[in-house]
Structure 1
Amino acid sequence: MQITLDNPAGAPQPLSPYYSQVARVEQADGSALLFVSGQIAEGATLAEQSRGVFETLAALLEAHGASLAEVINIRTYLTDITELEQYGAVRREFLTGTPPTSMTFEVSRLFRPEARIEIEIVAAVPGAG
C-alpha cells in the first residue's frame, strides 16, 4: 500500500501549513481511496459557503482524477443545525447520484470564526483496468 499526502497545485491551497488536503491511498488493484481534509469557504450565507466548499472539494478530487460522483462518505459540520435544509439543497446540486454514507454534526465553532460549515469527504477512485 502506498500513501501520498498532497496539496494539489491546481486546487485552492490550504489555509494553514499544518495539514495536507488529500491523502491518497493506492490499492493493490490500481484503485485508490482519497481522504480529503475538512474544507471551508467564504460567503455571507450558508448556501454560499456550502457552494464554495463543494467547488473546492471538486477541484481537489479532479486533481487526483476523480469527481464528486466517487464520494463514498461525507462528514458535515454546521454551526447552526437549523440551517440543515439550506445546506441540503446545495448538497443535492453537487451530489446528484446515489447519496454517499453521511454524518452531520452541529458544532459550536469552526477553525475560522466566519465559517458556518466545514465538509470532509472520502472518495473511491476506480483503477485504470
Structure 2
Amino acid sequence: MKVTIDNPASAPQPLSPYYSQVARVEQPDGSALLYLSGQIAEGATLAEQSRGVFETIDALLKAHGATLADIINIRTYLTDIGKLHEYGAVRREFLTGTPPTSMTFEVPRLFRPEAQIEVEVVAAVPADR
C-alpha cells in the first residue's frame, strides 16, 4: 500500500505547520482513498463559512483527480447545532447526488475562535482517474 501526504499548491494551504491537507491511499486495484483534514473558512455567517469550506474541499479533491461526487463519508463539527439547517442548505448546493455517509457533532469551539464549522471528508477515487 502506498500513502502520499500532500498539500496541493492549487488549494488553500494548511493554517498550521502541524498537519497536511490530504492523505492519498492507493488501493491494489488502482483506485485511491483520499482523507482530507478538517476544513474551516472565513466568513461572517455560517452559510459563508460553509461555502468556503466546500470550495476548499472541491479544490483539494480536484488536485487528486476526484470530485465532490466521490465523497463517501463526511464529518461536520458545528459550534451551534441550531444552525444545522443553514449548513444543510449550502451542503445540498455542493453535494447534489446520493448523500455520503455522515456524522454531525456540536462542539464548544474549533481551531480558530471565529470558526463556526469544520468539515472533514473521505473520498473514493476510481481507478480510471
Range of TM-score over shorter length: over 0.9
> Which residue of 1 is the match for residue 10 of structure 2?
10
- Tell me the amino acid that sits aligned with residue 90 of structure 2: V
For 1:3 and 1:9, the matched residues in 2 are separated by 18
For 2:128 and 2:10, the matched residues in 1 are separated by 22
> Secondary structure of 1:55's partner?
helix
For 2:22 and 2:124, the matched residues in 1 are separated by 13
RMSD (CA atoms):
0.8
> Which residue of 1 is the match for residue 41 of structure 2?
41
TM-superposed CA distance for 1:2, in Å, is 0.2
TM-superposed CA distance for 1:121, in Å, is 0.0
- Tell me the amino acid that sits aligned with residue 118 of structure 1: E
> Which residue of 1 is the match for residue 125 of structure 2?
125
TM-superposed CA distance for 1:66, in Å, is 0.4
- 1:81 paired to 2:90: no
Alignment of 1:1-129 (within 5 A): 1-128=1-128
- Tell me the amino acid that sits aligned with residue 21 of structure 2: Q
Calculate the TM-score normalised by the size of structure 1. 0.99
For 1:17 and 1:71, the matched residues in 2 are separated by 26
> Secondary structure of 2:38's partner?
strand
Q: Which runs of 5+ in 1 are unaligned?
A: none
- Tell me the amino acid that sits aligned with residue 81 of structure 2: I
For 1:128 and 1:55, the matched residues in 2 are separated by 24
For 2:107 and 2:82, the matched residues in 1 are separated by 12
Calculate the TM-score normalised by the size of structure 2. 0.99
TM-superposed CA distance for 1:95, in Å, is 0.3
> Secondary structure of 2:37's partner?
strand
Runs ≥4 in structure 1, deviation > 6 angstroms?
none
